[in-house]
Amino acid sequence: RLPLFRIPWFLQTRAPSSSRSRCFSSSVSMSSPPHIVVVGAGGVGCWLAALLATASQRNPNLARVSFVARGRALESLRNHGLRFTVKDPDGADQTISVEPGNLNAAPSCAALAEAGDKADYVILGVKTWQVADAAKDAALVLREGGGCIVTTQNGVSAPYDVQAACPGVPLLAGVAKVIAFRDDTQGGPLNAVRMAGAIPDVLMVGEMEATSSAPSQRTALLRAILKEAGVTSKDPEDENMLRELWRKAVMMCSMGPVCALARADVNTVVRTPRTSD
C-alpha cells in the first residue's frame, strides 16, 4: 500500500520558522536612493531595466539603475540605449525608450565594484545555468551590511544555487511571471518585447526563509520601488516564497507541454476555445 500523502511544509499555509542562524540582517538603512543592478540583457532583464530606469528618471529619489550586459547587447545599450515594447493582442502597443545617458551599462558587477560603486539590490535576469557564476560576480558589488541578490529564474533551484556559490550572501527569492524576449531583428537600441494579455507582468519577491508573515524591511522597500516603476509586485501568502516558486514550477510543467503540442504561446492557448477548455 502507498503511504498517505502528506502536504509538504512549503505548500502549507504558513511559512516555517528556520532554526538555522543567518549571518546577515534583513533590515536596510539608506541615506541615498538605493542602487539597483539588473544583470542579464534577456527578456526579463530588459523588462525590469526599462521600467526601473524610466521610473528613476521621473523620480531620481526612487532608485539609481545599472544594467550589466555583454557583447552586442552592451554595445547597443551604450551607443543607442534600450527600447522596450509591450505588444497588445488588440494592437494597442506601447514603447518605452531609455536613452544611453539615462542607463549605466557595464560589462560586469566586478567592473562596477572596481569603479567604486556599490549595489543595494542585484537582480539576476540570467539563465538558470548561469546563476552560480552571476552570483559570484554580483557579490563583489553588494553594499556591505545591506546589499542583497534577487533571483528571478524558473524552477526552484536558483536561490539554492546562489547560497551554494556564495554562502551567507543576503538573498531574496523572486518569481517572475512575464512573457518577454529580446528582438534582435532591429538595429539601433537594444530591443525587447513583452507580450501583454493572458499573462500579467508580475515580479514577486521575498525572503527565502521567512520567519514572519510580515515582509522584511528590504523586501518591503524593493516591492515599493517595483510598484512605483509599474511592475506588479504581489505579496506572497504568509511570505512563503518557496511555495510560490513551486506554484510557478507546477504551472510551467503543465502549460509548457500544452503550448508545445498546440505550437502556440500561452496567450493564444488561453484565448482559443478548443485549447482553453
Q: How confident is the model over 126-155, as pLDDT tens digits?
A: 999 999 999 999 999 999 988 999 999 999
> With contact defined as beta carbons under 8 Å apart, do 102 and 71 qualify?
no
Ranges of beta strands (E only) in the chain are 35-39, 64-68, 82-87, 94-98, 104-106, 121-124, 148-151, 171-177, 180-182, 190-195, 202-207
> With contact defined as beta carbons under 8 Å apart, do 190 and 73 qualify?
yes
Quick one: which of 168, 121, 169, 171 has its CA closest to 147?
121
Query: Rounded distance, CA 238 to CA 213, Å?
Result: 4
Return the pLDDT at 273. Answer: 86
- Highest average pLDDT, of 22-26, 178-182, 216-220, comes from 216-220
Query: Rounded distance, CA 261 to CA 38, Å?
Result: 34
Arithmetic mean of pLDDT, 85-109: 88
Q: 209 vs 17, 54, 80, 148, 176, CA distance in Å?
A: 7, 32, 41, 14, 18
| Summary mean pLDDT of the chain | 85
Choose the weakest-confidence range: 9-13, 29-33, 109-113, 126-130. Answer: 9-13
The band of 197, judged by pLDDT with boundaries at 50, 70 and 90, is low
Arithmetic mean of pLDDT, 55-74: 96
Return the pLDDT at 92. Answer: 77
Return the pLDDT at 220. Answer: 95
Biggest alpha carbon–alpha carbon distance for the chain: 66
- Highest average pLDDT, of 21-35, 133-147, 255-269, comes from 133-147
pLDDT at 157 over 50: yes
Which residues lie across from 94 on neighbouring strands?
86
Quick one: which of 64, 61, 34, 59 has its CA closest to 49?
64
